[in-house]
Amino acid sequence: MSLAAGDPLELKVTPDPYVTVRYAGASGDFNPIHIDEDFAKQVGLPGRILHGLWTMAQVARAHTDAAGGPEGLKRLSVQFRGMGRMGEEIVVTGTVREVGDGIAVVDSQAEQAGSRLIRNAVAEIAVS
């Protein structure tokens, strides 16, 4: 697998209405803001919101897909921002910043309906 500076990376995914329920079970994070519409509204949210770590998993998947598998992903750092919702497409975009010493450094973000859910994501992918 080869990556060069300037190479783009993209992943699009539209979360279905039950994705937070499946992710709660899979991850063990049962915070009701993700799975209970009434509770989410009571605490001032527009409704149930995505788990930030699910969205981070989409960013990670964009990188492992680009790298041809999970072996190369050595580091991923993200900042969480806006609240992700079900039913609207999320677009992960990234660019290889530089390649050196066997490591490609990739900058990326995740956006939904013009609002950034994840920003300043930085990844390191081992390249041969």
Partner 1 sequence: MAVKTEAIGKTYPAVLYAVGREKIREYAYAVGETNPLYLDVDAARAAGYADVVAPPMFAVVYSGRAVTPALFDPEVGINFANMLHAGQEFAWGPLVVAGDEITTTTEVKSISERGGMEFYEFETVSRNDRDETVCTGTWRQIVRGGGSS
Residues near partner 1, by CB under 8 A: 13, 19, 22-23, 25-29, 52-54, 56-58, 60-61, 64, 69-71, 73-80
- Map residue 119 onto helix, strand or coil: strand
Smallest distance from the beta carbon of 121 to partner 1, in angstroms? Answer: 10
Nearest to 80 by CA among 105, 48, 109: 109
Structure tokens at 104: 């490609």
Smallest distance from the beta carbon of 5 to partner 1, in angstroms? Answer: 22
In this complex, which beta carbon is closest to partner 1, that of residue 77 or of residue 95?
A: 77
**Amino acid found at 33:** I
In this complex, which beta carbon is closest to partner 1, that of residue 73 or of residue 99?
A: 73
Question: In b/e form, how buried is each residue of 98-114, taking b as 16+ CB within 10 angstroms?
Answer: ebeeebbbbbbbbbbee
Smallest distance from the beta carbon of 60 to partner 1, in angstroms? Answer: 5
